[in-house]
Amino acid sequence: MSFDRNKLTLHIVVGMVAGLIVGGVLNLIGNEGWIAVVFTDGIFHVVGQAFLRSLQLLVVPLVFVSLVCGSAALDDVRKVGRIGLKTVGLYMITTAIAVSFALGAALVVQPGSGFDLPTDVEFRASEAPPLTAIIIDLFPSNPIQAMASGNMLQVIVFSILVGLALVLSGDPGKRVLGLFRDLNEVVMKIVTIVMMLAPYGVFALLARTFAREGFGAIAPLAKYFVLVLVVLLFHGFVTYPGLLALLARLNPVRFLRNVRTVHAFAFSTASSNATLPVSLETAERRMGIDNSVASFTIPLGATVNMDGTAIMQGVATVFIAGAYGIQLSVTDLGMVVVTATLASIGTAGVPGVGLIMLAMVLKQVGLPEAGIGLIVGVDRLLDMVRTAVNVTGDLVVSCIVAKSEGQLDEHTFNADSDDPGN
Ligand code: ASP
């Protein structure tokens, strides 16, 4: 089956634009009555969810099979540790940079000053789990349960264990590994098939989102909305390309070109998790990152690396402080950097969770959690953009780590030809 990515990208863009327009028009003429029943909550809902589920269904099998192959290729346990440390270190550093930028920009712009505080805001946040529970929870007591519940960190731990055991098991290990490598090809082929449905899927997802959301909620929050957007775009189009050029000596323009399809998926689904199959495919087949690195860094990134989310949380904290007329001290700001970095690690890669995790940051600096209620109206739109930043960050770090390990094929990275699906 041939697969022309240039054409596909073009079709996806057409689908996105059409979805935006159709959704916007439906919203303008009133998304009610038979229009809502037939289109928004009918056709668009069904097609969008079918597409989203087809992506989600791939996540666990893909991560498991791919990471078993990947960790089996790293025959040296020290190498696994080194790649792990580099990846986690870079994920945390880039997130801390992201929040710091966000805080700096928000302190200059002061998006919350002069904001009319409504009297009826309410938001009840759930408790964040303690650190000990988070660490214990990395280890699955039942791998099937971990897979069934989609607990990605547990699936990662189990897959690495299986991969290492295969290497250490001699001939039987080699035979089983052969099976996993074949399975990996098959699952990747399913990713390609689902990607071909993307133009219809993104159309339906965006048409429904925009029919329901509209832009009305933006006006009173314009300062906050635009500021988050600007910092997100800066991080995505300046910080990341800069880091790539500086640390990996890779052409940032090529990178941005290679990452386009991933952007489209992340924007339309607002979920790093659902985008994971496409991120992994792009990492290996467009960026030229070897499976031994990508199969580890990409799933880990989709689960713990959320720079876009941290940016929103940084700006939101200053906004909420301003709206309530509360001054943040320098210590508070330092606290926000640390907690937003941790909160973004704890944020699941699904729509809207970043906003819930914001409660953890607000609590840390003594701001009212009800403040979240102020910004909830524009969060879905920002979620789409921040998810695109989140997944871009995963790919940037993966490129840097792969390059430093000699595991990035620059020929593929710089290739003009866009036909990886054979
Ligand atoms: N939707 C984001 C993601 O999946 C998480 C969030 O910020 O809500 O990456």
Cα distances (angstroms) measured from residue 311 to each of 61, 180, 263? 31, 38, 17
What is d(CA 379, CA 165) in angstroms, rounded to the nearest whole number?
Answer: 44
Tell me the residue type at 332.
Answer: D
- Model confidence at 78, pLDDT cuts 50, 70, 90, reads confident
| Residue from 99, 298, 378, 383 to probe ligand 1 pocket by mutation (most atoms less than 8 Å from CB) | 383
Closest C-alpha among 40, 42, 41 to residue 23 = 40
289 strand-pairing partners: 408
The residue segments making up the domain with residue 388 are 5-414
Closest C-alpha among 414, 390, 92, 96 to residue 252 = 414
Asked whether residue 101 is domain-assigned, the answer is yes
Residue 96, token pair as written in the block: 């801390």
CB-CB contact of 324 with 367 (8 Å): yes
Give the contacts of 77 (CB within 8 A, at least 6 positions apart): 164
In whole numbers, what is the pLDDT of the chain averaged over residues? 89
Report whether pLDDT(206) > 50.
yes
* Tally of CB atoms within 10 A around 16: 21
Over residues 156-191, the pLDDT tens digits come to: 999 989 998 998 899 999 999 999 999 999 999 999
Residue 241, token pair as written in the block: 């390309």
CB-CB contact of 160 with 80 (8 Å): yes
Over residues 361-371, the pLDDT tens digits come to: 998 888 998 88
Which of the two residues, 412 and 218, has the higher pLDDT score? 412
In the reported structure, the alpha carbon of residue 349 is separated from the centroid of ligand 1 by a whole-number distance in angstroms of 5
What is the pLDDT averaged over residues 329-354? 89
Q: What are phi and psi of 408, to 5 degrees?
A: -120, 125
Q: What are phi and psi of 289, to 5 degrees?
A: -80, 130
Over residues 12-68, the pLDDT tens digits come to: 999 999 999 998 898 888 878 888 888 889 999 999 999 999 999 999 999 999 999
408 strand-pairing partners: 289
Q: What are phi and psi of 383, to 5 degrees?
A: -60, -40
Asked whether residue 420 is domain-assigned, the answer is no
pLDDT for residue 318: 95
In the reported structure, the alpha carbon of residue 47 is separated from the centroid of ligand 1 by a whole-number distance in angstroms of 22
Q: Does ligand 1 lie within 6 Å of residue 353's CB atom?
A: yes
Asked whether residue 419 is domain-assigned, the answer is no
Asked whether residue 421 is domain-assigned, the answer is no
What percent of the chain lies above the pLDDT cut of 70? 94
CATH number at residue 276: 1.10.3860.10
Asked whether residue 359 is domain-assigned, the answer is yes
In the reported structure, the alpha carbon of residue 49 is separated from the centroid of ligand 1 by a whole-number distance in angstroms of 17
Q: How many domains does the chain have?
A: 1
In the reported structure, the alpha carbon of residue 381 is separated from the centroid of ligand 1 by a whole-number distance in angstroms of 11
Residue 257, token pair as written in the block: 């070109």
Q: Does ligand 1 lie within 6 Å of residue 301's CB atom?
A: no
In our burial notation (b when 16+ CB lie closer than 10 A, e otherwise), range 128-149 reads beeeeeeeeeeebeebeebbee
Give the contacts of 247 (CB within 8 A, at least 6 positions apart): 400, 403, 404
Asked whether residue 117 is domain-assigned, the answer is yes
- Model confidence at 121, pLDDT cuts 50, 70, 90, reads low
- Model confidence at 421, pLDDT cuts 50, 70, 90, reads very low
